[in-house]
Structure 1
């Protein structure tokens, strides 16, 4: 059978399946009990440790995965010491800066509010080498960002990165007006800034690389992410904080499998999901699956900035799609237009020679007030 005939056969089979399904069909997997523990995080031996506990849900379930609340979460050492984490928000457990001895092994112990107990394997501490540099360059119509590192002792070999993106942006329209107590007034220095804002996002992809096939433990210009030329993130100024973690071979295999499973699902021709091997066990029920992998390491960080002035001059930067309109006081009152807060006045409309407005231009709140999308508090690290 040649490829063309094979594709035709698959097409006919799909048509047959679709046309023969008269009654709605829900696969059993969607209705199967699915309430397994998910453990997200790692043991940071030279800084704050954050562990997130969630529960899995069925594909048919709506909403976010439920948090595992009111658990007791502890870091244990192989010499009997322990450090308890505090629940700061639902399902998020944290402990401030630790300074753990890197010669010991560590594990995570969890006791849920229902009495179930979980524990990871004891793991060795990986000392993460410093990030050599984070660089960027414009390629075609995008910004490409790279990270480089090396370990002169050849002890790391396996690496993982994540990052925080922060960018400065502005609302589509500037206004010096505000609606207050049935009136449109001029804004003053005591009013909140709603024109300049910043937004931060955490990375959502799994970024890995290794030097196992190289004679030297060097990672050179690993492409971490790309930004389209017209992205809002680089319209004014952008910053990225890159975090680097050294991994054991077992941890690297876990993350590599997870990366393949999350990136390759979606079509008939994608490979089937691989089995993910966790190093966390349910002590109360050894047959219960647990999702997650606990590592222990130091962390290295490096931050860079990209100013829009450094980008190619022919790049057309991001511009928000927003429209303004006008209202006239002869037809409507300012209460009609601005009381509910959906619209914000931008400028007054004045007849020639008169100090009294006969109307106002206005736009929706999301086009005038940047705090709808971010914060107007300038980050401490901002240059």
Structure 2
């Protein structure tokens, strides 16, 4: 339910634009303060048919001027199956609750979420059941041009339920990509000795694990689809992600894991409203930022607002790998700014001052050494004040952009 938080951020953006448009003649700085703030519990959870430790996230809405949501800690949470079997949750991190035991939602059974906060307030969801499981037929890449005229890689999904019972779908993804250091040099420059008039410099092996790295992102939008108006319960060519050709994610090798949730009609309606809020970019939109009611209510106060939806969904997932050269070989590539950084001795500075500057530069960890002419490894390097070269760290060390350990699922 990343979309819940995106919805809250969308309202914040809307407020900023509105204030700026009405006060556009002001040139003095001003601070925005929220009036009539409501402290609302935000519940983020989807229980699935996967055998795992299920998860519930709790937080609170926050004022516009605050940095972000505040985690709701110390709550007592349980999921009740058929009114009798209870699955207890424990707090694994602030606001994050994981089931004590692994369990999977089963068809034909009813599930209910129960929450009690530290201030004694109790919340309960409607009883919900697990929708039918439908497997993804295919996830596939395709070179496309998006609506903005940008060429790149589209990721598409096909699915089909011959029984016609699924109908309502939601999609999330996790993407992982390989990063290859563009200005790799096998040695780093270090200070080997400090004298009264100059430093001595030498080379040490640069860690090999800084040459190839991996980075990951999760989807931050709400992608839903339904087949109620079609003759078949079939989805063909639904775009779930787009990567511009000049994006670092598709500069080398790319992988995406697409997860398909079959959900209820009620859950689909909730996510559709959230999606409309998150995609609205105009103040003149007909969408109004009212409260979005879910299926969770307060047992103590019927008028208390609760933001969130207790969703029980069946899940199917599929992963694919894409090599850039297989689909986008003739399009512009991602270009990291690796312009050489020059250090030159000021004619009026002493040599020791210049060497100190080089030492500080190295210790900053913001750059990596890339000489104009490679020195001989193992021999001291004495800089008499001539021009030397460095590049930004990301150009010579991929750990500035990712991690060196490849994921367990990665395939070359």
Per the TM superposition, whether the score is higher than 0.5 is yes
1:326–1:69 distance in 2 versus 1, CA, 3 Å: same
Match of 2:394 among 335, 356, 366: 366
The 8 Å contact of residues 245 and 298 in structure 1, kept in 2 or not, is answered as yes
Report the alpha carbon displacement of residue 117 of structure 1 after superposing the two structures with TM.
Answer: 1.4
Match of 2:162 among 138, 146, 152: 152
Deviations 1:121-178 (A, max 9, x none): 1101112200000112112312111111111111110000000011111234212223
Q: Does 1:233 align with 2:249?
A: yes
Write the mapping of 1:308-327 to structure 2, written as runs, cut at 5 A: 308-327=324-343
Deviations 1:321-368 (A, max 9, x none): 12222447953244232123233223374689x965445522233333
Match of 1:335 among 336, 348, 359: 359
| Structure 1 partner of 2:6 | none
The 8 Å contact of residues 349 and 361 in structure 1, kept in 2 or not, is answered as no
Tell me, what secondary structure is at the counterpart of 1:298?
Answer: strand
| Structure 1 partner of 2:263 | 247
The answer to which of 211-220 and 356-365 deviates more is 356-365
TM (norm. structure 1) is 0.86
Write the mapping of 1:344-363 to structure 2, written as runs, cut at 5 A: 344-347=368-371, 349=373, 357-359=381-383, 360-363=388-391
| Structure 1 partner of 2:198 | none
| Structure 2 partner of 1:186 | 204
CA–CA distance in structure 1, aligned partners of residues 129 and 392 of structure 2: 55
CA–CA distance in structure 1, aligned partners of residues 251 and 117 of structure 2: 46
| Structure 2 partner of 1:65 | 69
| Structure 2 partner of 1:173 | 183
1:374–1:313 distance in 2 versus 1, CA, 3 Å: closer
Report the alpha carbon displacement of residue 247 of structure 1 after superposing the two structures with TM.
Answer: 1.1
Report the alpha carbon displacement of residue 289 of structure 1 after superposing the two structures with TM.
Answer: 0.6
TM (norm. structure 2) is 0.80
| Structure 2 partner of 1:7 | none
Match of 2:295 among 279, 290, 312: 279
The 8 Å contact of residues 202 and 380 in structure 2, kept in 1 or not, is answered as no
CA–CA distance in structure 1, aligned partners of residues 339 and 28 of structure 2: 47
| Structure 1 partner of 2:129 | 124
Tell me, what secondary structure is at the counterpart of 2:133?
Answer: coil
CA–CA distance in structure 2, aligned partners of residues 293 and 323 of structure 1: 50
The answer to which of 91-100 and 79-88 deviates more is 91-100
Gaps of at least 5 residues in structure 2 are 1-18, 146-150, 193-200, 346-350
| Structure 2 partner of 1:378 | 406
1:294–1:345 distance in 2 versus 1, CA, 3 Å: same
Equivalent residue pairs, number: 365
CA–CA distance in structure 2, aligned partners of residues 26 and 180 of structure 1: 47
1:335–1:69 distance in 2 versus 1, CA, 3 Å: same
CA–CA distance in structure 1, aligned partners of residues 322 and 283 of structure 2: 37
Report the alpha carbon displacement of residue 237 of structure 1 after superposing the two structures with TM.
Answer: 0.6
Write the mapping of 1:189-208 to structure 2, written as runs, cut at 5 A: 191=207, 193-208=209-224
Write the mapping of 1:67-146 to structure 2, written as runs, cut at 5 A: 67-95=71-99, 97-140=102-145, 141-146=151-156
The 8 Å contact of residues 176 and 347 in structure 1, kept in 2 or not, is answered as no
- Aligned alpha-carbon RMSD (Å): 2.9
